[in-house]
Amino acid sequence: MKTRPLINAALFLVTAVIFFINCASNSHSKIVVSPDFTKHPLINAVLAFVILDETPEVIYNGNVERALGQGNTEELARRFFHDRLFTDISNEVDVKTVFSSSGVSKHLITKEALELENEIITIEIPMNGTKFDFGATQADLVLTFSSIRIGTETSEHYHTRVDHGINTRVGRHLVYISNFVLWDNRTGTLISYGRVKSRVPIRGSESVVSEWEELSKQFVRKIFEPAGFLKRSRNK
Protein backbone atom coordinates (compact mmCIF):
# COMPACT_ATOMS: atom_id res chain seq x y z
CA MET A 1 0.00 0.00 0.00
CA LYS A 2 2.99 2.31 0.51
CA THR A 3 4.41 1.72 -2.97
CA ARG A 4 2.54 4.60 -4.63
CA PRO A 5 3.74 7.32 -2.17
CA LEU A 6 7.30 6.06 -2.59
CA ILE A 7 7.04 6.26 -6.36
CA ASN A 8 5.61 9.77 -6.14
CA ALA A 9 8.42 10.81 -3.80
CA ALA A 10 11.03 9.40 -6.19
CA LEU A 11 9.44 11.19 -9.14
CA PHE A 12 9.48 14.42 -7.15
CA LEU A 13 13.18 14.14 -6.36
CA VAL A 14 14.22 13.16 -9.88
CA THR A 15 12.14 15.89 -11.51
CA ALA A 16 13.35 18.52 -9.07
CA VAL A 17 16.99 17.59 -9.74
CA ILE A 18 16.45 17.73 -13.50
CA PHE A 19 14.69 21.08 -13.15
CA PHE A 20 17.54 22.69 -11.23
CA ILE A 21 20.17 21.27 -13.58
CA ASN A 22 18.18 22.65 -16.49
CA CYS A 23 18.00 26.11 -14.87
CA ALA A 24 21.75 26.08 -14.29
CA SER A 25 22.55 25.22 -17.89
CA ASN A 26 20.13 27.83 -19.22
CA SER A 27 21.92 30.58 -17.30
CA HIS A 28 25.08 30.08 -19.40
CA SER A 29 27.04 33.14 -20.51
CA LYS A 30 30.55 33.43 -21.84
CA ILE A 31 32.63 36.61 -21.87
CA VAL A 32 36.17 37.02 -23.16
CA VAL A 33 38.26 39.96 -21.94
CA SER A 34 41.07 40.87 -24.35
CA PRO A 35 44.46 39.80 -22.96
CA ASP A 36 45.83 43.12 -24.25
CA PHE A 37 43.25 45.21 -22.41
CA THR A 38 44.60 47.72 -19.92
CA LYS A 39 42.05 49.73 -18.00
CA HIS A 40 42.45 53.50 -18.14
CA PRO A 41 40.78 56.01 -15.79
CA LEU A 42 37.24 56.74 -17.00
CA ILE A 43 37.19 60.45 -16.18
CA ASN A 44 34.10 62.02 -17.78
CA ALA A 45 33.84 59.01 -20.10
CA VAL A 46 31.08 58.88 -22.71
CA LEU A 47 29.61 55.53 -23.78
CA ALA A 48 27.65 54.86 -26.95
CA PHE A 49 25.58 51.72 -27.25
CA VAL A 50 24.41 50.41 -30.58
CA ILE A 51 21.72 47.79 -31.27
CA LEU A 52 22.78 46.24 -34.56
CA ASP A 53 19.66 44.10 -35.04
CA GLU A 54 17.07 45.91 -37.12
CA THR A 55 14.29 44.19 -35.16
CA PRO A 56 15.51 42.28 -32.08
CA GLU A 57 13.72 38.96 -31.69
CA VAL A 58 10.93 38.88 -29.11
CA ILE A 59 9.38 35.59 -28.02
CA TYR A 60 7.08 36.21 -25.08
CA ASN A 61 4.72 33.58 -23.70
CA GLY A 62 2.01 35.48 -21.88
CA ASN A 63 0.72 39.01 -21.52
CA VAL A 64 2.98 42.01 -20.88
CA GLU A 65 0.21 44.52 -20.14
CA ARG A 66 0.68 44.32 -16.36
CA ALA A 67 4.40 45.10 -16.71
CA LEU A 68 4.79 47.23 -19.83
CA GLY A 69 1.33 48.60 -20.57
CA GLN A 70 -1.03 48.18 -23.48
CA GLY A 71 0.14 47.75 -27.03
CA ASN A 72 2.01 45.38 -29.28
CA THR A 73 4.03 42.94 -27.16
CA GLU A 74 7.09 42.92 -29.40
CA GLU A 75 7.25 46.71 -29.72
CA LEU A 76 6.80 47.20 -25.96
CA ALA A 77 9.54 44.67 -25.15
CA ARG A 78 12.00 46.19 -27.63
CA ARG A 79 11.32 49.70 -26.35
CA PHE A 80 11.82 48.65 -22.74
CA PHE A 81 15.08 46.86 -23.63
CA HIS A 82 16.43 49.97 -25.33
CA ASP A 83 15.20 52.62 -22.91
CA ARG A 84 16.12 50.76 -19.74
CA LEU A 85 19.70 50.33 -20.99
CA PHE A 86 20.10 54.10 -20.59
CA THR A 87 19.06 53.93 -16.96
CA ASP A 88 21.05 50.87 -15.98
CA ILE A 89 24.28 51.75 -17.77
CA SER A 90 24.10 55.24 -16.24
CA ASN A 91 23.43 53.86 -12.75
CA GLU A 92 25.70 50.81 -12.77
CA VAL A 93 28.66 51.68 -15.01
CA ASP A 94 31.47 54.10 -14.22
CA VAL A 95 30.79 56.54 -17.07
CA LYS A 96 29.49 60.10 -17.16
CA THR A 97 27.25 60.08 -20.24
CA VAL A 98 25.38 57.43 -22.22
CA PHE A 99 23.77 57.71 -25.65
CA SER A 100 22.49 55.33 -28.31
CA SER A 101 23.34 55.40 -31.98
CA SER A 102 23.27 53.30 -35.15
CA GLY A 103 25.12 52.75 -38.40
CA VAL A 104 28.39 51.22 -37.19
CA SER A 105 28.04 47.76 -38.73
CA LYS A 106 30.53 48.67 -41.49
CA HIS A 107 33.25 48.67 -38.82
CA LEU A 108 32.58 45.05 -37.78
CA ILE A 109 35.11 43.31 -39.98
CA THR A 110 36.93 40.54 -38.16
CA LYS A 111 35.22 37.49 -36.67
CA GLU A 112 35.78 35.64 -33.40
CA ALA A 113 34.43 32.16 -32.70
CA LEU A 114 32.95 31.66 -29.24
CA GLU A 115 32.39 28.12 -28.02
CA LEU A 116 29.37 27.68 -25.76
CA GLU A 117 28.00 24.55 -24.15
CA ASN A 118 26.05 23.29 -27.15
CA GLU A 119 27.11 25.52 -30.03
CA ILE A 120 29.80 27.66 -31.55
CA ILE A 121 28.78 31.19 -32.47
CA THR A 122 30.60 33.88 -34.42
CA ILE A 123 30.86 37.44 -33.17
CA GLU A 124 31.93 40.25 -35.49
CA ILE A 125 34.34 42.77 -33.99
CA PRO A 126 36.14 45.85 -35.38
CA MET A 127 39.62 45.74 -36.81
CA ASN A 128 42.32 46.85 -34.38
CA GLY A 129 42.75 50.62 -34.59
CA THR A 130 39.13 51.32 -35.56
CA LYS A 131 37.65 54.58 -34.24
CA PHE A 132 33.86 54.92 -34.32
CA ASP A 133 32.66 58.30 -35.55
CA PHE A 134 29.37 59.56 -34.11
CA GLY A 135 29.56 63.04 -35.56
CA ALA A 136 29.44 65.89 -33.07
CA THR A 137 29.27 63.51 -30.11
CA GLN A 138 32.48 61.66 -29.35
CA ALA A 139 32.37 58.29 -27.57
CA ASP A 140 35.14 56.92 -25.36
CA LEU A 141 33.53 53.48 -25.17
CA VAL A 142 31.30 51.72 -27.68
CA LEU A 143 29.03 48.80 -26.82
CA THR A 144 27.35 46.89 -29.65
CA PHE A 145 24.58 44.29 -29.38
CA SER A 146 23.58 41.66 -31.94
CA SER A 147 21.56 38.42 -32.16
CA ILE A 148 19.28 39.70 -29.40
CA ARG A 149 16.46 37.64 -27.94
CA ILE A 150 13.97 39.14 -25.50
CA GLY A 151 11.05 37.37 -23.86
CA THR A 152 10.28 34.33 -21.80
CA GLU A 153 11.71 30.89 -21.27
CA THR A 154 9.72 28.00 -19.85
CA SER A 155 11.32 25.09 -18.04
CA GLU A 156 11.05 22.01 -20.24
CA HIS A 157 10.02 20.07 -17.12
CA TYR A 158 7.36 22.55 -16.01
CA HIS A 159 4.41 20.46 -17.22
CA THR A 160 5.87 17.31 -15.68
CA ARG A 161 6.00 19.09 -12.34
CA VAL A 162 2.40 20.22 -12.77
CA ASP A 163 1.29 16.64 -13.42
CA HIS A 164 2.97 15.42 -10.24
CA GLY A 165 1.81 18.23 -8.01
CA ILE A 166 5.28 19.71 -7.57
CA ASN A 167 5.69 23.42 -6.79
CA THR A 168 4.93 25.23 -10.05
CA ARG A 169 5.19 28.84 -8.95
CA VAL A 170 8.33 29.40 -11.03
CA GLY A 171 7.77 27.82 -14.42
CA ARG A 172 8.64 30.80 -16.60
CA HIS A 173 11.54 33.22 -16.66
CA LEU A 174 12.10 36.56 -18.34
CA VAL A 175 15.19 36.29 -20.51
CA TYR A 176 17.64 38.53 -22.35
CA ILE A 177 20.19 36.89 -24.66
CA SER A 178 22.64 38.87 -26.78
CA ASN A 179 26.07 38.91 -28.37
CA PHE A 180 28.04 42.01 -27.47
CA VAL A 181 31.33 43.79 -28.15
CA LEU A 182 32.77 46.39 -25.77
CA TRP A 183 35.26 48.64 -27.57
CA ASP A 184 37.76 51.23 -26.31
CA ASN A 185 37.22 54.03 -28.80
CA ARG A 186 40.08 56.11 -27.38
CA THR A 187 42.77 53.56 -28.24
CA GLY A 188 40.92 51.68 -31.00
CA THR A 189 41.24 48.34 -29.17
CA LEU A 190 39.00 45.55 -27.99
CA ILE A 191 37.99 45.41 -24.33
CA SER A 192 35.72 42.36 -24.29
CA TYR A 193 33.17 40.39 -26.25
CA GLY A 194 30.85 37.49 -25.67
CA ARG A 195 27.34 36.19 -25.31
CA VAL A 196 25.30 37.09 -22.26
CA LYS A 197 22.18 35.42 -20.99
CA SER A 198 20.22 36.86 -18.08
CA ARG A 199 17.18 35.20 -16.49
CA VAL A 200 14.74 36.37 -13.84
CA PRO A 201 11.85 34.23 -12.57
CA ILE A 202 8.28 35.36 -13.20
CA ARG A 203 7.01 34.92 -9.68
CA GLY A 204 3.31 35.54 -10.31
CA SER A 205 0.88 34.66 -13.07
CA GLU A 206 2.37 37.39 -15.28
CA SER A 207 5.56 39.44 -15.20
CA VAL A 208 5.69 42.81 -13.45
CA VAL A 209 7.86 45.81 -14.25
CA SER A 210 10.18 45.22 -11.26
CA GLU A 211 11.13 41.84 -12.76
CA TRP A 212 11.92 43.46 -16.11
CA GLU A 213 14.03 46.06 -14.30
CA GLU A 214 15.84 43.33 -12.37
CA LEU A 215 16.54 41.52 -15.65
CA SER A 216 17.99 44.61 -17.33
CA LYS A 217 20.22 45.47 -14.37
CA GLN A 218 21.54 41.91 -14.20
CA PHE A 219 22.21 42.00 -17.95
CA VAL A 220 24.25 45.22 -17.71
CA ARG A 221 26.22 44.01 -14.72
CA LYS A 222 27.16 40.77 -16.47
CA ILE A 223 28.58 42.68 -19.43
CA PHE A 224 30.63 45.25 -17.55
CA GLU A 225 31.80 43.42 -14.44
CA PRO A 226 34.53 41.26 -16.07
CA ALA A 227 36.36 44.38 -17.30
CA GLY A 228 35.96 46.15 -13.95
CA PHE A 229 33.72 48.97 -15.19
CA LEU A 230 30.97 48.78 -12.58
CA LYS A 231 30.79 51.74 -10.22
CA ARG A 232 31.20 49.51 -7.19
CA SER A 233 34.49 48.23 -8.68
CA ARG A 234 35.95 51.74 -8.42
CA ASN A 235 36.18 51.48 -4.64
CA LYS A 236 37.77 48.02 -4.50
**pLDDT digit string, tens, across residues 214-227:** 999 999 999 999 99
Which letter does DSSP use for residue 230 in this model? Answer: B
**Rounded percentage of the chain residues whose pLDDT exceeds 90:** 62
For 107, left (φ over 0), alpha (ψ -120 to 50), or beta? Answer: alpha
Amino acid at 214: E
Residue 220: per-residue pLDDT: 98
Which tens digits make up the pLDDT trace of 81-138?
A: 999 999 999 999 999 999 999 866 666 677 888 888 778 889 989 989 999 988 888 9
- Rg of the chain (C-alpha set): 20
DSSP 128-186: TT-----TTS--SEEEEEEEEEEEEEE-TTHHHHHHTT---S--EEEEEEEEEEEEETT
- Phi, psi (degrees; rounded to nearest 5) at 139: -115, 135
pTM comes to 0.81
Taking each continuous run of H as one helix and of E as one strand, the counts in the chain are 5, 9
Answer yes or no: is pLDDT of 20 > 50: no
